[in-house]
Amino acid sequence: MKKRLLKWLCVLVAMMLTSCSATNVITSVDALLRPPRLTDDQNDIYAALTSYLSGKEMHLVYPQKGEYLSAFIQQDLDGDGLDEAAVFYQLTASTSSAPINMAIMDRQSGKWMVVSDVQLDGSGVEDFNVMESGSKPLIAVGLTYAGESGNSLMQIFGMYGKELRLIFSRTYLAKTICDLTGDGKDEFLLVYPNEDSEGVQSVQAGLFIADDSQEEAFIQAARCPINPEIVRFQQLSAVLPDWSRTSGNAHIYLDGYRGSSMLTEELMVESGENGYEIENLTWLQSDETDGESYPQRVMLNSMDINGDGWYEIPGQQLLPGYTEESTDVVYLTTWYRHINRRYVPLYSAYVSSLLSYQFIFPADWIGNVTAYRGPYGNEVTFSVWDEEKPMEDTALMSLRAVSIASWRSGKVSPEYEYLDSRGQIVFLARVIDTESRYSLTMADIRERFKNMG
């Protein structure tokens, strides 16, 4: 993650250098790394928390991912139609293992006050979710868990009056929270290590639903095995039907690492005669299973790449001229749909996961065209592959990302033409060779360039 952040900052600096002084660049990057400023309301909440702690030194703790990334989360947490605030904090102590607390705050007589405060069983806050339970919201907190190496911990709380109570706690490797059954309530799917009565270890995916026999409790309704060769889980994503129009089935895409390469498992949640079932559509646990049949890639998650409502699964291969030992290798990515247990290719493209765009290859480019990146990572050039010539001598076209300030300043070479923009980034293209059988016009380039942001 640190290497990825450093590379992104290098790209950012490269995009800004064409129009800004070094001082301005440093100031801009420094601003990106500062903690966010508090709003007036958050300042009032912070002051109330400080008063509650009677002057004890503390610092705020921020969720690391998900929808809620602030230490102050203002939502209706008890179903009364008014917003409460959840605040994560850690007392400053002489030991680095000071616990993390979650304080629930409410307005009383127009002032924020702490109404409940609980100590969490984790060393960091991974994410925060507000779950729809049918009667009132529930609070789900994902925690970095020191108790078991590699595992996280999910704790679910409910508000009883103004008191926060723990109603569920379990370790997991990956999770997703949403309405997986179409009943209007949020369920969750956990991937977790399992050991049976005979001591055989495995990895399971479990569906947890509301327990109708108990108020605000959850039971495991179904489970299925996960490929045990996956050693680290990167992402768990759910694709849901429009429950208001169809019964359908929820599909879950699980991206993980097997060694240094990534693969994707597809799970399906369905309703059977005896309740809910989960089926692993990609790992069959039979002699027919061939691990190499998974599309392999280095570092790219599955996603809905074409907006059709389904997730596509990427597979990668080296472009001509590269080996695994090459420095700064460049890959061709093929996107697949998993249909009836078969991987059906849709198209192949150069994908920049750092800058979130892709460029779709024409069919005759595959095996004949390669690419190389510039020194700062913000430009890629496509060349006809000829093992007897340097790639620079057979260049066809290039794609470049610059800051919007650079583009507006007029300091970018007029050879580059505008393709698209996102935020403060402008994407440009340059046609280099118009005579090759593999040459593309600017109109072709615009059609094949896809902004993934």
Distance of alpha carbon 146 from alpha carbon 299, whole angstroms: 27
- In the predicted model, what is the mean pLDDT of the chain? 88
How does residue 434 score in pLDDT terms, banded at 50, 70 and 90? very high
3-state SS track over the chain? CHHHHHHHHHHHHHHHCCCCCHHHHHHHHHHHHCCCCCCHHHHHHHHHHHHHCCCCCEEECCCCCCCCCCCEEEECCCCCCCCEEEEEEEECCCCCCCCEEEEEEEEECCEEEEEEEEEECCCEEEEEEEEECCCCEEEEEEEECCCCCCCEEEEEEEEECCEEEEEEEEEECEEEEECCCCCCCCEEEEEEEEECCCCCEEEEEEEEEECCCCCCCEEEEEEEEECCCCCEEEEEEEECCCCCCCCCCEEEEEEEEECCEEEEEEEEEEEECCEEEEEECCCCCCCCCCHHHCCCECCCCCECCCCCCCCEEEEEEECCCCCCCCCCCCEEEEEEEEECCEEEEEEEEEEECCCCEEEECCHHHCCCEEEEECCCCCEEEEEECCCCCCHHHHEEEEEEEEEHHHHHHCCCCCCCEEEEEECCEEEEEEECCCCCCCCCCHHHHHHHEEECC
pLDDT digits (tens, 9 = 90+) for 405-418: 999 999 899 999 99
pLDDT of residue 324: 87
Give mean pLDDT, residues 43-58: 94
pLDDT for residue 12 is more than 60: no
Give mean pLDDT, residues 5-34: 44
pLDDT of residue 369: 98
How does residue 284 score in pLDDT terms, banded at 50, 70 and 90? low
pLDDT higher at 315 or 248: 315
pLDDT for residue 345 is more than 70: yes
How does residue 44 score in pLDDT terms, banded at 50, 70 and 90? very high
How does residue 317 score in pLDDT terms, banded at 50, 70 and 90? very high
Give mean pLDDT, residues 205-209: 97
Over pLDDT 70: what percentage of the chain? 88
pLDDT of residue 448: 98
Which of 184-193, 246-255, 279-288 comes out lowest in average pLDDT?
Answer: 279-288
pLDDT for residue 22 is more than 60: no
pLDDT of residue 148: 59
Note if the pTM is more than 0.95. no
pLDDT for residue 445 is more than 60: yes
pLDDT higher at 358 or 123: 358
> How many Å from the N-terminal Cα to the C-terminal Cα in the chain?
20
How does residue 162 score in pLDDT terms, banded at 50, 70 and 90? confident
How does residue 24 score in pLDDT terms, banded at 50, 70 and 90? very low
pLDDT for residue 239 is more than 50: yes
pLDDT of residue 95: 60
How does residue 147 score in pLDDT terms, banded at 50, 70 and 90? low
pLDDT of residue 94: 52
pLDDT higher at 92 or 344: 344
How does residue 273 score in pLDDT terms, banded at 50, 70 and 90? confident
pLDDT for residue 4 is more than 90: no
pLDDT of residue 98: 84
